[in-house]
Structures are given as C-alpha cells and as structure tokens.
Amino acid sequence: MGSDRFPDPPAGRARLSRPRVLRAAIDLVDREGLAALTMRSLATDLGVEPMALYRYADGKQALLDGMVEAFYAEVNDLLRADAEVPPPSTDEAGDGGWRAALHRIARAFCQVADAHPAVFPLVATRPLSLPLARRPLPMLQLNEQVLALLDRAGLDDRATLRLYRAVVGWVIGYLLVDKRQVIDNPEEPEPLLRLGLHRLPAEQYPRLRALAALLVEHDPEAELAAGLDILLDRLGG
C-alpha cells in the first residue's frame, strides 16, 4: 500500500516517475532487506525493463540516496499532517512552544524509522559523503526547521548550533541503537528466547540476559522523548 506522498499506481502498467520508483525501492527493502535491492529486482517489482529505471536513478547508489530523500519527505509529510498544534513556523504560546515542536519532530522521525527499519541506517550514513548544500532538499528543509525552533529559544548562534548537533545526534543515535535490536524469533513470547539471548553463556553475558524483558518491552517514543528533554533542560534552558 502506498503512502499519501507515493500513492499506489492504478491497475495495469502505470507510467514511471521518480516518486513511484523510490516508493517501490522502499517497499522492496521493507519486505526483503537492503541486500535484495538491485536495479533488476526493482525493475521486476515495477514490471519494467531495468534500463527504464536509469532515467530516475543512475544506479543502485543513486537509489540509496533517493531513499534517504524519500525518508525525510515522509517525515515532513507527517509533520504537515499533524494538526495537534500549529506548525512550528507560526507563533506558539508560552516559552515551551519550541520544545513541543521539537518533540513532534522527534516523534515523526521515530514513526518513519519504525515503518522503514531497514532503510533507516541509510539516513545516518549516506549524507555523510555529501557536502551540506548537496544533501536532499527534504533533509535540508527539516534541518532549517529545527534551527528555526532553536533560534526561538533565545540562544546565541554558537549555543544554537551546539544544541542542534546534540538533538540530531541523540535522535539518530538512539534510533540506530533501537533498530539494531532485531527480534530473533517473533513468535516466541519468552523475552530471552525471543531475542535469541539464550544462546549466550550466562556466565559471560549476565547483564544482557537479565535485561531481556526490558529490551523487548521498551517504548522507543517515550525513551526518545525522555532523552530529548534531558538535552533541552541541560543545553536549552
């Protein structure tokens, strides 16, 4: 099923477009993992010849970058659709308005990472090889939104950048650690067996085994929000 940004094509052979190609690439990775993504496998999913895809991405590396673009676009779409509070670009009552808006951004980021856990590592790694100004526009738009919120906190420019880096590092770092926790046996209710930790010798890994229940039952959004509050209290005033 497609998202609002990348709607499902009509029945039959639909025309290709960059959004449709990127949506199909994300669907393939969600379903089969990153290793399964090739130009040929994607073309098969779309019902076209591989050469037809090169108009929209000049190879697998470009597809990977495109999925990062689509990830950030999905986050931005979630934020636009969030009607709980006016968007961060408008005045919000009280000194905590910028903090509430940052929490909404972190929550949207977490929701998209949950939807695409196999895609999320690309979000942390692919942009590192690109100069700032050449990174995907949806990523730059979200960066600008976060910086604008921190500016409203009344910090000077140096403090704004310090807090910006801390917030981005916390959100991406936390989610990377969380998404690495792959369930070994989803049908197994017992936490130790569910995570596969029963295979580790008890005398060598007592703490990992003891924490199995908490590792299974944790609330990613709540933990992400709690850590963000600690950062904002310490660095944001």
HEC secondary structure over the chain:
CCCCCCCCCCCCCCCCCHHHHHHHHHHHHHHHCHHHCCHHHHHHHHCCCHHHHHHCCCCHHHHHHHHHHHHHHHHHHHHHHCCCCCCCCCCCCCCCHHHHHHHHHHHHHHHHHHHCCCCHHHHHHHHHHCCHHHCCHHHHHHHHHHHHHHHCCCCCHHHHHHHHHHHHHHHHHHHHHHHCCCCCCCCCCCHHHHCCHHHCCCCCCHHHHHCHHHHHHCCHHHHHHHHHHHHHHHHHC
pLDDT of residue 83: 52
pLDDT of residue 127: 92
- pLDDT tens string, the chain, 237 residues long: the values are 444 444 444 433 458 999 999 999 999 999 999 999 999 999 999 999 999 999 999 999 999 999 999 999 999 999 998 755 454 444 444 456 899 999 999 999 999 999 999 999 999 999 988 899 999 999 999 999 999 999 888 889 999 999 999 999 999 999 998 877 678 888 899 999 999 999 999 999 999 999 999 888 888 899 999 999 999 998 876
Q: Where are the domains of the chain?
A: 91-236
CATH 3.40.50.620 fits 91-236, yes or no: no
Give pTM, 2 decimals: 0.82
pLDDT of residue 113: 94
